[in-house]
């Protein structure tokens, strides 16, 4: 066993499908000895630090034997070492024999094997084979990452000495298949979780798979599905309206309880439910409402604003009564309260109070461990929903700071008692509040509010990662420099209707799109993805209605009721949670 080639590359910008991306996948061989530090080889860097890099993904290894295999299997005669993104091209160390936790010495460097490759579209970009992310898994040749136990130097030609075997004896090929394929035996999941050398990311995925296997309640791949997709039940379930309260001018709250009286699963503060509103003479409407109450075992509560010409709110306000049925989804969404001790700053306006109210409840339930800021803007006291409730909750938070702005205060509204300012928030006013620079900021409200406050917070030096936002419907405004969702440009299609429910747009399918993911990108609808060939499940999305065809079969199926949009097209009219 020996090193054949050491390959490095610093991140660089390249063209991909008409856009600019940053990557360091294009590695090339280097001569001479190289120093290997804790995070990488000298002269190398990682662009996407979510999927690559860090202590447990410092060095990526791929085998000469796999190069020979792909040359023969796919006719790729022009492959060069480094093309699979590896730092070390090696003789020996096959994925079918190397195990998680194995340690090797190369030169004066000691490496420990931590995980298989993270599947990613960039290996398709570097090799010119779109299906390569899936082929690496299905052909059991992913390659593997190592962490650096002992820093030192190495060069091409150095012998690879095995120091000892990893605990558990689970090979790279088996561990890779255990996550990405459709076979997840409980005993092997338990065994891989006992391997201390396994990286934290893969451990978390296997923990989710193991819990799903033990409970027997989950479908699809719980280890890969985004957290927002792991709903407590699939589809829509009928609930009973048990209470309706007028919370303020133009805002009603609705308490919804399960018809069978069962205990409700907990939700995470900030999540929403999807409501199927009966169509008056037409198809049902899909609407999304944030849960605005505390965690409760018997009901979910939503707050709804009466919208001008709003068909959904009109039905809820004028055609729905206590005792009526309403079909809802399980709680979902990733606009959720982080579980940490960092200062919490909740900035809302209008009906944007609803998810923030749930977060305020959660902060109060945690006791006095967290500093909490409640900053809310509305017209006047009569348009402040849940006002008394906010007062009761905040009284249980020791480190609480409140600031309320009324944009059109009325004669009976008392400055200093009912509100602290009589205008909209501005960067200057935010600066005067002396907000913490190390906090988590959550924004929800009308589009102009979120656009202005987000920009104001960034002007104060806050990193974008500290600012979380939630929005439903087509805002028709640019937030964070992104175009608002829109129907795709170009000639209209004649196929099935595609509706992106959360973004509030719909259009007829055109065959120029190779997948629903590509169509969503053409509409500037926010989407997540990585592999684009049905392996990683980052694009997994709830399908509210309709049917799709898979243009390439996923290695493992998504959760029931969900689809992988990267490799599917509509078979009939579809409504998606995008």
Concatenate the DSSP letters of all residues of 235-291 into one string: S-EEEEEEEEEEEETTEEEEEEEETT-PPPPP--TT-EEEEEEPPSSSPPEEEEEEB
Confidence at residue 229, expressed as pLDDT on a 0 to 100 scale = 62
CATH topology of domain 344-470: Rossmann fold (3.40.50)
Beta bridge partners of 269: none
**Where does CATH 2.40.33.20 sit in the chain?**
2-193
CATH 3.10.20.30 in the chain is located at 497-576
Give the C-alpha separation, 307 to 284, whole Å: 18
Measured CA to CA in angstroms, residue 193 lies from 100, 200, 211, 415, 452 at distances of 11, 10, 12, 58, 46
What pLDDT score was predicted for residue 345? 96
Residue 509 and residue 325: Cα distance in Å, rounded?
A: 34
Query: Quick one: three-class SS letters along 59-91?
Result: EEEEEHHHHHHHHHHHCCCCCCCCCCCCCEEEE
Query: What stretch(es) of the chain map to CATH 3.40.50.80?
Result: 344-470
- Classify each residue of 468-491 as buried b or exposed e, where b means 16 or more C-beta atoms within 10 Å of its C-beta: bbbbbebbeeebeeeebbeebeee
**C-beta separation of 291 from 300 below 8 A:** yes
Instruction: Say which CATH class 2-193 falls into.
Output: mainly beta
Closest CA to 100 of 221, 200, 25, 209: 200
Reported as a pLDDT band with limits 50, 70 and 90, residue 213 is confident
268-319 pLDDT, tens digit each: 999 999 998 887 666 778 888 999 988 888 999 999 999 888 888 999 999 9
d(CA 525, CA 539): 12
What is the predicted pLDDT for the residue at 281? 63
Token representation of residue 170: 């689970």
The conformation of residue 38, written as its DSSP 8-state character, comes to S
Task: List every span in the chain annotated with CATH 2.40.30.10.
Answer: 237-328
Weakest-pLDDT range from 65-74, 354-363, 500-509: 500-509
Q: Would the pLDDT of 475 be above 60?
A: no
CA neighbor of 10 nearest in space, from 45, 41, 39, 36: 45
Asked whether residue 477 carries a pLDDT value surpassing 80, the answer given is no
> What CATH number is given for 237-328 in this structure?
2.40.30.10
Q: Can you read off the two tokens belonging to residue 293? A: 């109450």
Retrieve residue 15's tokens. 């063209």
DSSP letters along 404-442, please? EEESS--TTPPBTTTBSBSS---HHHHHHTT--TTSEEE
Tokens of 166: 């990893």
Q: Does an H or E element contain 2, and which?
A: strand 2-8
**pLDDT band, residue 503 (cuts 50/70/90):** confident
Q: Does 118 have pLDDT greater than 70?
A: yes
**Taking the model in full, what pTM does it have?**
0.81
- The domain 497-576 is classified under which CATH number: 3.30.365.10, 3.10.580.10, 3.10.20.30, 3.30.70.100? 3.10.20.30
The 10s digit of each residue's pLDDT in 439-466 is: 999 999 988 888 889 889 998 889 888 9
């Amino acid at each position: 066993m020996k090193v054949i080639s050491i390959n490095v590359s610093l991140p660089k910008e390249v063209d991909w499908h008409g856009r600019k991306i940053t990557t360091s996948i294009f590695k090339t061989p280097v001569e001479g000895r190289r120093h290997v530090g804790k995070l990488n080889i000298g002269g190398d860097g990682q662009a996407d630090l979510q999927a690559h890099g860090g202590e447990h993904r410092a060095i990526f290894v791929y085998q000469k034997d796999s190069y020979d295999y792909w040359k023969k299997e796919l006719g790729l005669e022009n492959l060069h070492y480094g093309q699979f993104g590896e730092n070390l091209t090696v003789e020996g160390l096959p994925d079918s024999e190397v195990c998680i936790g194995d340690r090797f010495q190369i030169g004066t460097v000691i490496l420990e094997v931590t995980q298989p490759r993270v599947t990613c579209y960039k290996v398709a970009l570097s090799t010119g084979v779109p299906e390569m992310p899936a082929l690496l898994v299905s052909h059991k040749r992913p390659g593997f990452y190592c962490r650096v136990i002992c820093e030192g130097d190495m060069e091409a030609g150095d012998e690879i000495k095995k120091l000892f075997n990893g605990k558990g004896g689970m090979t790279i090929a088996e561990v890779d298949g255990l996550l990405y394929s459709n076979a997840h035996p409980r005993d092997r999941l338990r065994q891989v979780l006992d391997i201390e050398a396994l990286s934290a990311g893969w451990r978390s995925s296997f923990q989710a798979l193991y819990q799903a296997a033990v409970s027997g309640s989950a479908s699809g791949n719980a280890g890969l599905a985004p957290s927002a997709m792991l709903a407590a039940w699939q589809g829509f379930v009928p609930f009973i309206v048990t209470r309706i309260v007028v919370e303020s001018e133009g805002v009603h709250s609705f308490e919804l309880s399960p018809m069978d009286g069962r205990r409700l699963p907990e939700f995470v503060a900030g999540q929403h439910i999807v409501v199927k509103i009966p169509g008056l003479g037409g198809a049902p409407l899909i609407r999304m409402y944030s849960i605005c109450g505390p965690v409760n075992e018997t009901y979910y509560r939503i707050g709804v604003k009466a919208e001008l010409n709003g068909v959904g709110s009109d039905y809820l306000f004028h055609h729905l009564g206590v005792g009526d049925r309403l079909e809802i989804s399980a709680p979902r969404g990733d606009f959720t309260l982080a579980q940490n001790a960092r200062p919490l700053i909740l900035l809302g306006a209008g009906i944007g109070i609803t998810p923030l109210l749930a977060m305020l409840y959660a902060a109060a339930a945690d006791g006095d461990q967290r500093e909490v800021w409640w900053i809310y803007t509305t017209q006047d006291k009569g348009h402040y929903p849940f006002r008394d409730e906010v007062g009761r909750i905040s009284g249980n938070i020791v480190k609480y700071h409140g600031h309320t702005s009324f944009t059109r205060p009325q004669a009976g509204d008392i400055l200093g008692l009912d509100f602290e300012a009589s205008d909209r928030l501005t960067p200057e006013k935010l600066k005067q509040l002396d907000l913490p620079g190390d906090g988590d900021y959550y924004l929800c409200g009308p589009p102009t509010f979120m656009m202005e406050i987000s920009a104001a917070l960034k002007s104060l030096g806050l990193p974008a990662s500290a600012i979380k936002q939630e929005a439903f419907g087509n805002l028709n405004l640019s937030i964070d420099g992104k175009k608002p969702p829109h129907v795709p440009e170009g000639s209209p299609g004649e196929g099935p209707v595609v509706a992106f429910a959360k973004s509030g747009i719909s259009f007829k399918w055109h065959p120029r799109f190779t997948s629903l993911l590509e169509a969503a990108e053409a509409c500037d609808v926010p989407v997540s993805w990585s592999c684009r060939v049905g392996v990683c499940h980052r694009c997994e999305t709830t399908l509210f209605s309709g049917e799709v065809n898979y243009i390439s079969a996923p290695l493992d199926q998504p959760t029931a009721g969900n689809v992988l949009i990267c490799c599917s097209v509509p078979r009939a009219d579809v409504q998606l949670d995008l």
